[in-house]
Amino acid sequence: MFGMGTQELLIFMVIVLVVFGSSRLPSLMRNLGRSANEFKAGMKEPVDENAKKIDEDSKE
Annotate the chain with three-state secondary structure.
Answer: CCCCCHHHHHHHHHHHHHHHCCCCHHHHHHHHHHHHHHHHHHHHHHHHHHHHHHHHHHHC
Q: pTM for this structure?
A: 0.51
Position 22 scores a pLDDT of 84
Q: What is the pLDDT of residue 11?
A: 93
- Whether the predicted pLDDT of 60 surpasses 80: no
Instruction: Give CA–CA dist 15/56, Å, rounded.
Output: 53
**pLDDT at residue 3 is higher than 70:** yes
- Give the up-direction half-sphere exposure of residue 9: CA atoms within 13 A in the CB hemisphere: 6
- List pLDDT tens digits, range 9-54: 899 989 988 988 888 888 988 999 999 999 988 877 666 666 666 6
The whole-angstrom separation of Cα 24 and Cα 17 is 9
